[in-house]
Structure 1
Amino acid sequence: MSRAPILVFGWGNPARGDDALGPLFVDAVEAMGLPGVECLTDFQLQVEHALDLEGRSRVLFVDASFGAPEPFGVAPLRARRDDSITTHAMTPQAVLQVYRDLQGEPPPAWLLGMRGERWALGDPLSASARRHLDAALHWARDWLTRPPA
């Protein structure tokens, strides 16, 4: 099966205010219609998502974060076994570790964390989160269309 070389994977709960940033980011990237880019979303990362990494040249994990710098931060990820590997909600590093355990070296991966401030059930997306999303999308268009380093 042929897969797009780039995977953009966002997660979060759209019903919990700024936690919607991950899925909103993925929806916006998908609407760009960039060749070679596949987009996936879920409420949380799970062990099965390691299979989505197969055949990729790079992966961008995307989430809302209380601790991210404003408007967003991007950091490379490494496979790492942690306590989340045995739960229903895993870290991106743990997903990469599952891939390593099953398939070998995972593709290069990064975490894009957008700064959020409101997380209550039923909260709308905050104005600052909307600005952070727009800034992250501006950065992502360049990152997703440039050849891998």
Structure 2
Amino acid sequence: MIKPILLLGYGNPSRGDDALGVLLLERIPAACLHSVELLTDFQLQIEHALDLKQRQLVLFADASVANTQPIHFRQLHAVIDNSYTTHAMNPASVMQVYSDIEKTAPPPCFLLTMQAVQFELGDGLSAIAEESLRQAVALVEKLFAEPNLTTWQAYTRA
């Protein structure tokens, strides 16, 4: 049986703060995961569109150098772009592929980015990334405690 919520964390665990998306999944307490499927990968691929099938909510998690705050949480909308022709896609493009394949809108999808500053091969997490991860875990625990669209949308405005 497919669980109603998907948490898809992505990044390279060997490249310092790029590991944030993957590490988030490891730090979520098991008690929060009864209706959640966890999925990790190095980067988003066109095939991830199929992972959106039969979900009620989807949460993508990634590191970001663009964040000016430890975490940023927002709702996504499908976007047509050319990233499907590359080795890495963005979440909005994955949503568009889903729409193209399934001929229907994807489930509500959200992106949680965590502030990241170092990506060298072999680096550990920076202090900034550790704080971002701590705040991200706290937010995800709240989201999974109230897994409904209205609540998640309210957190995008918080």
- Give TM-score scaled by structure 1 length: 0.95
Which portions of structure 1, spanning 4 or more consecutive aligned residues, are displaced by more than 6 angstroms?
none
- Paired residues, what number? 148
Query: Structure 1: 5+ residue runs without aligned partners?
Result: none
Match of 1:86 in 2: 85
The alignment's C-alpha RMSD in Å is: 1.2
- Return 5+ residue gaps in structure 2 as ranges: 151-158
1:79-118 equivalences in 2 (<5 Å):
79-103=78-102, 104-118=104-118
Shift of residue 121, structure 1, vs aligned partner: 0.7
Secondary structure of 1:107 counterpart: coil
Quote the offset at 1:97 in angstroms.
0.3
Residue in 2 aligned with 1:22?
21
CA deviation profile, 1:98-149 (whole Å, cap 9, x unmatched) = 0000111100001000000001111111112111100111011011120412
Equivalent-residue separation in structure 1 for 2:147 and 2:140 (angstroms): 13
CA distance in 1: counterparts of 2:28 and 2:98, whole angstroms: 25
Structure-2 separation of matches of 1:26 and 1:100: 26
CA distance in 1, matches of 2:140, 2:147: 13
Report if the CA contact (8 A) 2:59-2:112 is conserved: yes
Corresponding residue for residue 154 of structure 2: none
Q: Is the 8 A contact 2:62 2:112 kept in 1?
A: yes
Query: Identity rate of aligned residues, in percent?
Result: 48
